[in-house]
Amino acid sequence: MRKLSGDVSEILGQQKGLGERMETLEERIAAFETKKPAGGGGDPAPVGVLYDYRILEHVRQYNIKDTGGHEAEMSSVRRCLALRDLPEIRTRYHTGTGNRKVQYSYRVVPEGPAGESEWVPVEFRTNKGAGADFSAILSLPQPILIGESFELRHEIEMVDSFSSHNEWVSMVVEYPTEKLNLNVFLPPSRTIQGARREISEGASQSFDKRRLVPQKVPGEDRIAMRWEEINPITGRTYTIYWDW
């Protein structure tokens, strides 16, 4: 009887913990919903689609180190909210031209003023999706629990990836996202022409094409092209093009 009583107490404790995490998750989602601009500027999730997590902010930057485009780095950091318990994380695998070295890492964002956690490198495997899409499936040392905030970092060392006359970088919005930032840093010794940004959906539909003006980075010997988008639309691709 004592063992049965202990088992029941343990189950009740687990249920209480799950209930508290669900309440926290609902409060956070409600808070994020109130931040969306009036007039339909948000990105409602497609009916019937369930997501593992929601991206609160996605910052991706490319640092092209030489005028020939032979050496470059990409760093992508996503701050996310878990919508279910995550024993592993699935994300879009970043393909492209040239040789590359890829690394993923993550960290849980603690509640309150506890400071930042250390980045934890993780192993991953790739999975072929529809068309030319690939997914990276990240193995976690311990699950991320529903309602927890976490950051996912994706780093690539690139060789000969930006060596042509016409170049571009892009971000595919694969999960509901509050904000994205796409930044490209280039050496100042090569002239940038025709810099522009556009949004696309599907193989041929593109729209919202706008000119970008490269800016000198204060205090640094490089120039930047920057794009910030609030409430980008899930499933669309956000691309920066330039000639040099």
Residue 115: inside a domain: yes
The verdict on 9 and 68 lying in the same domain is no
Report the number of distinct structural domains present in the chain: 2
The verdict on 123 and 182 lying in the same domain is yes
Q: What is the structure's pLDDT at 149?
A: 96
CATH number for the domain including 195?
2.60.40.3140
CA 239-230-218 angle, 5° bins: 70
Q: Which domain holds residue 17?
A: 1-34
Residue 232: inside a domain: yes
* List of E strands, 66-162: 71-82, 86-92, 99-109, 120-122, 124-128, 134-144, 149-159
User: Comparing 111 with 241, which gets the higher pLDDT?
Assistant: 241
User: Comparing 172 with 26, which gets the higher pLDDT?
Assistant: 172
Residue 39: inside a domain: no
Per-residue confidence band for 10, with pLDDT thresholds at 50, 70 and 90 = low
Closest C-alpha among 126, 143, 136, 151 to residue 58: 151
Rounded-to-10 torsion of CA 137, 143, 147, 151? -50
The type of residue at 50 is L
In tens, the pLDDT along 180-213 reads 999 999 999 988 999 999 999 976 788 889 999 9
pTM equals 0.78
The verdict on 152 and 95 lying in the same domain is yes
Q: What is the structure's pLDDT at 100?
A: 76
The verdict on 27 and 125 lying in the same domain is no
The verdict on 61 and 30 lying in the same domain is no
In tens, the pLDDT along 119-171 reads 999 999 988 765 556 788 999 999 999 999 999 999 999 999 999 999 999 99
Please check the confidence at residue 94 and state whether its pLDDT lies above 50.
yes
User: Comparing 71 with 17, which gets the higher pLDDT?
Assistant: 71
Residue 140: inside a domain: yes
The verdict on 93 and 4 lying in the same domain is no
- Give the end-to-end CA distance of the chain in Å, rounded to a whole number: 78
Residue 239: inside a domain: yes
Q: Residue 24, SS3?
A: helix
Residue 42: inside a domain: no
The verdict on 177 and 232 lying in the same domain is yes
Pair 120, 141: CB distance under 8 Å: yes
Average pLDDT score, the chain: 82
